[in-house]
């Protein structure tokens, strides 16, 4: 009995038993951190209740759209979560029944206002403190006219045992004093359609009676307690309804989707598996000729989504020769996938009497980088004896070496770049806040022809056809705040109104990799609908670095509103009306680029002269998510004396770039871009000048989870 007691005690103190006990505790903590009540959002598409915000928010990468009927307002909303701890929301408030005093009779209708909201979450449950409340501060409507401006601090605690969430906050501005909220999800633990139903009550702290910008029809308050419910369908749609001020009913519909982390809407069923069969490692010789090797590689690369353009055999002493290849990636967005597929092709098809293989990747006519593989490492990688990360350390991307010449190598394969490539795609352009309507648009299609002349010079010809437009009666100047600097952008609507068919681009470009990380390009022609000219750019962007620096300069002519001619003069608004004077555009910039790779952030800075001859700096920052989505913001400071509503205006806006293959059943390098400025003004304006160097190299070298920082 004594021995049994000792053995039991010894087993109880066993390190293995303690390890499993610790792992169970860790799992329990992780489960508590990940367990959440359904997120409730308010009528402004913020984490909140009905009119008040909470400290909770979405996860990074989530994109949301919403419409709310909050009498006497209609609120259109757009939300995007840059980080887990940063919530950004844009609202468009429409004052129902209140005609805009200036533009209402011109077609604008009811008065409206744009608002930008931001919330900083200092503490989230996911940070490892499940027993602590989430805590955040935020600013509503902190830009522009700021009619609904508020600052608030708020704490939110989830009580999972009771399926209850409680919030206490304090605000100033439109919000006045303390507010609170409760959200109860009574059926959360039941497998029923009511599982996603949340009952909500809040204390509304908005100062409806005394807030100077409040709608006249929304000042009466019978009760500050708003009660209602939210229902979430498929974790995609949110329906909300509640009482409002004790005398109205309000409701909203919101759509939210994790666009930053999605794998795509359609599985990539037409992407081939990495190459594995047939395998042919016969040495080059009587059994396997040079021509057979070239055909094997060309067909294998084509099947994998690449074009092989050059193949050289470089003799070496000892019978172990080298191969040199130039390939173009046609399909994949991430460099690690490009590299992996190249490695598998070479591992299964490289002849056994080859010692080393050099592969150069090219994009838009620019040799981007090269890989230098040993055959033995390729074989070990394909057999699983060498991991991908280890292989990357052994054979990292390198600067591009010189193309072998005919005296030192034998050319086994050569293919010319395509001369004619036709594409057809839809085209859309929007205008928000015009004096003749809140939203104006143009929709049509683009027909593009591009290719290479003499296998060296890239050309692009793009025509646009406008099928439907609501911009016919728009004016080309701001009535209240006419631009008093050179009109380089504010007259852009005149190009759209001139004709339904436009030649938007027709230019030539030659790019070079000068070696040692230096790149350059020359471009000439019609760069966009409004400008044509000549451009020179130089960039220093070494392989395996997270920064780049460059210089660009362009001399530009303003295109005629009709046809393909040029305007010799530009207009400028003065106290005596418009005056016209000779104008030739000159823009030049020193460019700085930096990537914070652990967070997938990139920053781009331009310092120099802009189109309207104003000098200053433009700063842009963006984040690229796992799905390939990139969302960016920019702000420009120049010496242009441009004023909007009595305040000095500096150009600012946002941009979004979405991988097209999110909507396809196969991978694609094509991206869909959209950008919008806060106002269409002339300060900080930049003309397109062809295909710029940094974006081409950036996306060709991009990895979502880079090995080298």
Token couple for 425: 């795609």
The confidence band for 407, taking pLDDT boundaries of 50, 70 and 90, is: confident
DSSP assignment of 88-113, as one string? EEEEEEEEEEEE-TTTGGGTT-EEEE
Give the chain's mean pLDDT.
91
Residue 461's pLDDT is 96
Residues 6+ apart with CB under 8 A from 371: 339, 342, 358, 359, 361, 395, 397, 398
Q: Which conformational region is residue 137 in: left (phi greater than 0), alpha (psi within -120 to 50 degrees), or beta?
A: beta
Q: What is the mean pLDDT of residues 219-241?
A: 95
Collapsed DSSP state (helix, strand, coil) of residue 45: coil
Report d(CA 396, CA 413) in Å as an integer.
Answer: 26
Tell which wins on pLDDT, 105 or 231. 231
User: With 90 as the cut, is the pLDDT of residue 319 above it?
Assistant: no
Token duo for residue 140: 């509503």
CA distance 392 to 399: 15
Task: State pLDDT tens for residues 343-364.
Answer: 999 999 999 999 999 999 999 9
What is the reported pLDDT for 29? 65
* % of residues, the chain, pLDDT over 90: 72
pLDDT of residue 7: 43
The more confident residue out of 191 and 248 is 248
Q: What confidence tens digit (pLDDT) does each residue in 654-685 have? A: 999 999 999 999 999 999 998 988 888 999 99
Quick one: tokens of 671?
């991206």
The token pair that represents 475 in the structure block: 């004016």
Distance CA 380, CA 384 (A): 6
CA 404 to chain centre: 39
- 185-223 per-position pLDDT tens digit: 999 988 888 999 999 999 999 999 999 999 999 999 999
- The mean pLDDT value for 28-43 works out to 80
Q: How far apart are CA 486 and CA 84, in angstroms?
A: 42
User: Sorting pLDDT into bands at 50, 70 and 90, what band is 5?
Assistant: very low
Report residue 431 as tokens.
């205008």
Which ranges constitute the DSSP H helices of 305-359?
Answer: 335-349
Beta-carbon-side half-sphere exposure of residue 324 (alpha carbons within 13 Å)? 17
Residue 428 and residue 442: Cα distance in Å, rounded?
Answer: 6
pLDDT category, 69, cuts 50, 70, 90?
very high
Rounded to 5 degrees, what are φ and ψ at 64? -135, 150
pLDDT value, residue 17: 76
The whole-number pLDDT of residue 6 equals 39
Average pLDDT for residues 143-160, to the nearest whole number?
Answer: 93
**Residue 577 gets which letter from DSSP?**
E
Query: pLDDT value at position 708?
Result: 57
Q: pLDDT tens digits, residue range 121-131?
A: 999 988 877 78
What is the per-residue pLDDT across 474-514, written as a single tens digit (0 to 9) for each? 777 777 888 889 999 988 888 888 788 889 999 999 999 99
Dist. CA 284–CA 267, nearest whole Å: 40
**Among the listed residues 442, 462, 610, the one whose alpha carbon sits nearest the alpha carbon of residue 528:** 462
- Specify the 3-state DSSP secondary structure of 27: helix
Asked if 23 and 31 touch (Cβ cutoff 8 Å), the reply is: no
516 has pLDDT over 90: yes
């Amino acid at each position: 009995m004594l021995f049994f007691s000792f053995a039991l005690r010894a087993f109880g103190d066993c390190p293995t038993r303690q390890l499993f006990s610790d792992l169970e505790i860790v799992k329990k903590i992780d489960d508590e951190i990940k367990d959440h009540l359904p997120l409730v959002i308010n009528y402004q598409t913020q984490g909140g209740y009905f009119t008040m915000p909470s400290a909770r928010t979405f996860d990074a990468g989530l994109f949301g759209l919403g419409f709310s009927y909050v009498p006497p307002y209609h609120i259109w909303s757009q939300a995007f979560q840059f980080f887990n701890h940063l919530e950004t929301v844009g609202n468009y408030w429409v004052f129902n029944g209140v005609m805009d005093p200036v533009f209402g009779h011109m077609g604008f209708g009811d008065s409206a206002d744009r608002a930008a909201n931001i919330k900083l979450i200092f503490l989230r449950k996911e940070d490892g403190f499940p027993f602590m409340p989430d805590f955040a501060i935020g600013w509503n409507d902190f830009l522009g006219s700021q009619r609904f401006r508020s600052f608030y601090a708020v704490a939110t605690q989830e009580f999972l045992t009771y399926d209850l969430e409680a919030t206490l906050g304090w605000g100033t501005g439109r919000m006045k004093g303390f507010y609170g909220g409760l959200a109860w999800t009574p059926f959360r633990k039941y497998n029923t359609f009511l599982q996603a139903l949340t009952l909500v009550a809040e204390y509304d702290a908005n100062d409806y009676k005394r807030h100077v910008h409040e709608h006249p029809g929304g000042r009466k308050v019978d009760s500050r307690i708003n009660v209602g419910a939210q229902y979430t369908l498929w974790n995609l749609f949110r329906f909300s309804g509640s009482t409002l001020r004790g005398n109205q009913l309000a409701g909203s519909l919101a759509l939210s989707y994790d666009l930053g982390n999605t794998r795509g809407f359609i599985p990539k069923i037409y992407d081939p598996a990495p190459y594995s069969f047939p395998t042919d490692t016969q040495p080059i010789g009587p059994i396997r000729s040079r021509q057979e090797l070239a055909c094997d590689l060309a067909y294998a690369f084509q099947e994998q989504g690449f074009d092989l353009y050059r193949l050289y055999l470089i003799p070496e002493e000892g019978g172990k020769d080298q191969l040199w290849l130039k390939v173009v990636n046609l399909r994949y967005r991430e460099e690690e996938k490009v590299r992996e597929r190249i490695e598998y092709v070479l591992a299964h098809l490289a002849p056994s009497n080859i010692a080393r293989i050099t592969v150069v990747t090219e994009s838009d006519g620019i040799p981007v980088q090269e890989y230098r593989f040993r055959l033995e490492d390729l074989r070990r990688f394909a057999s699983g004896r060498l991991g991908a990360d280890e292989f990357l350390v052994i054979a990292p991307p390198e600067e591009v070496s010189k193309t072998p010449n005919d005296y030192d190598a034998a050319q086994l394969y050569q293919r010319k770049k395509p001369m004619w490539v036709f594409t057809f795609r839809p085209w859309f352009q929007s205008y928000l806040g015009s004096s003749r309507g809140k939203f104006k648009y143009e929709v049509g299609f683009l027909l593009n022809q591009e290719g290479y002349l003499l296998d060296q010079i890239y050309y692009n010809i793009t025509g646009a056809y406008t099928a439907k437009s609501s911009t016919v009666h728009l004016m080309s100047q701001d009535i209240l705040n006419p631009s008093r600097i050179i009109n380089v952008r504010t007259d852009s609507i005149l190009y759209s109104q001139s004709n339904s068919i436009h030649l938007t681009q027709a230019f030539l470009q030659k790019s070079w990799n000068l070696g040692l990380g230096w790149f350059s390009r020359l471009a000439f022609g019609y760069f966009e609908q409004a400008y044509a000219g000549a451009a020179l750019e130089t960039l220093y962007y070494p392989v395996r670095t997270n920064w780049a620096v460059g210089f660009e300069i362009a001399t530009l002519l303003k295109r005629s509103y009709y046809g393909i001619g040029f305007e010799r003069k530009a207009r400028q608004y003065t106290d005596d009306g418009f005056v016209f004077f000779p104008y030739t555009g000159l823009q030049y910039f020193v460019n700085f680029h930096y990537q914070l790779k652990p967070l997938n952030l990139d920053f781009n800075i331009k310092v120099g002269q802009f189109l309207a001859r104003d000098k200053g700096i433009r700063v842009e920052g963006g984040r690229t998510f796992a799905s390939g989505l990139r969302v960016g913001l920019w702000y420009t400071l120049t010496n242009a004396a441009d004023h909007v509503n009595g305040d000095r205006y500096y150009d600012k806006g946002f941009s979004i770039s979405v991988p097209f293959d999110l909507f396809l059943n196969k991978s694609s390098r094509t991206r869909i871009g959209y950008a919008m400025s806060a106002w269409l003004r002339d300060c900080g304006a930049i003309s397109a000048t062809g295909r710029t160097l940094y974006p081409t190299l950036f996306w060709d070298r991009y990895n979502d989870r880079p090995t080298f920082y």
